[in-house]
Amino acid sequence: MTMDGKTVLITGSTDGVGRYVAGRLAADGARVLVHGRDRERGAGLVEEIKRAGRGDAAFYSADLSSLAGTRQLAQAVMADHKRLDIFISNAGIGSQTSGPQRRTSADGHELRFAVNYLSGFLLAHLLRPLLKDAAPSRIVNVASLGQHPIDFDDVMITRGYNGSRAYAQSKLAQIMFTIDLARELAGSGVTVNSLHPATYMNTTMVRASGIAPISTVEQGGAAILHLAGGDDVAGKSGLFFNGMNEAKANPQAYDADARQRLRALSLELTGLA
């Protein structure tokens, strides 16, 4: 797919693999909607892209640990753009970001579930009209191989909390949502896939976990760019990829009842019900 003239929103593009992907998409001619919380880093990337003279960029600041902040981002994008060709839901926090203890979002939800999953769920729903107007268009959910089944009796992990489980639960939720959304969007020209970009890339999230990086943002970025623009995945939807290859996710992803429970809960928590 040519990126010339395409509008792409990538959340969490002020740092890490998102920043790399934003730069690459702009270099290929896209208009990139850079998102993050840090205005200075956001403005810096926009300036860098404009200076390079290919594509274009604008910065959108929003804190995705609040549903109000998430809605504000969708509203700002909808106010400025009539169509969205690609939405990459990439923003995330790691298992140890801001410490190993359990924390909650502005809305009282377990923080990793809120930032990594719920905000992307809400954005995908709110931005759907823009994506439909740009069809064929794509949604890419940046998940992980780190996946833990959701305990529907304690989704907010109030008992026996640990950051790794919370992270892995939020990542499986993204994959389950991808499968459901693909069914909902069938026939609309909007496709949605999820992926594990690469293992322990050299990013802030990995360094904060005290883990020695074993791959680069270029490697993970290539996998994200593949789902965002690869011709071989055109029309494919509801799939999970490990890097460049289609893969199987945790068995709970293929449990229709579990997906239905997650969907009902997410609609309720985000106020979309």
Ligand X SMILES: NC(=O)c1ccc[n+]([C@@H]2O[C@H](COP(=O)([O-])OP(=O)(O)OC[C@H]3O[C@@H](n4cnc5c(N)ncnc54)[C@H](OP(=O)(O)O)[C@@H]3O)[C@@H](O)[C@H]2O)c1
Closer Cβ to ligand X, 16 or 23, answer by number: 16
Peptide bond into 149 cis (omega under 30): no
According to DSSP, residue 52 is labeled H
Q: 118-147: which residues touch ligand X (CB under 6 A)?
A: 142, 144
243 is a site residue for ligand X (CB under 6 A):
no
Instruction: Give whichever of 17 and 185 is closer to ligand X, judged by the CB atom.
Output: 17
Site string for ligand X, 27-46 (x = CB under 6 A): ---------xxx--x-----
| Whether the Cβ atoms of residue 55 and residue 31 lie closer than 8 Å to each other | yes
3-state SS class at 213: coil
Q: Select the residue interacting with ligand X from 7, 8, 9, 18 (CB under 6 A).
A: 18
* DSSP annotation string for 157-201: --SS--HHHHHHHHHHHHHHHHHHHHHHHTTTTEEEEEEE--SSB
Q: Which stretch binds ligand X (CB under 6 A): 78-86, 87-95, 153-161, 185-193?
A: 87-95
Catalytic center residues = 167
Binding of ligand X by 98 (CB under 6 A)? no
- CA–CA gap between residue 200 and residue 263 (Å, rounded): 29
Q: Where are the beta strands (DSSP E) in the chain?
A: 7-10, 31-36, 56-61, 86-89, 137-142, 190-196, 240-242, 245-247
**What is the separation of C-alpha 59 from the centre of its chain, rounded to a whole number of angstroms?**
17
Q: Running DSSP on this structure, what letter comes out for residue 68?
A: H
Q: Select 137 or 219, whichever has its Cβ closest to ligand X.
A: 219
Residue 64 binding ligand X, by CB under 6 A = yes
Residue selected from 203, 219, 237, 252 as contacting ligand X according to rule CB under 6 A: 203
Of the candidate residues 201, 223, 233, 239, the single one contacting ligand X (CB under 6 A): 201
Is residue 75 part of the contact set for ligand X (CB under 6 A)? Answer: no
Cα angle, residue 6 at apex, residues 29 and 64 outer, rounded to 5°: 105
Chosen residue from 75, 98, 204, 260 binding ligand X by CB under 6 A? 204
Coil, strand or helix at 88: strand
Interatomic CA distance for residues 160 and 166, integer angstroms: 10
Q: Of 24-32, 194-202, 239-247, 254-262, which part binds ligand X (CB under 6 A)? A: 194-202
Verify binding: residue 227, ligand X, rule CB under 6 A: no
Q: Does 115 bind ligand X (CB under 6 A)?
A: yes
With respect to ligand X, which residue has the nearer C-beta, 134 or 193?
A: 193
The residue ranges that bind ligand X (CB under 6 A) are 12-18, 36-38, 41, 63-65, 90-93, 115, 142, 144, 196-197, 199-201, 203-206
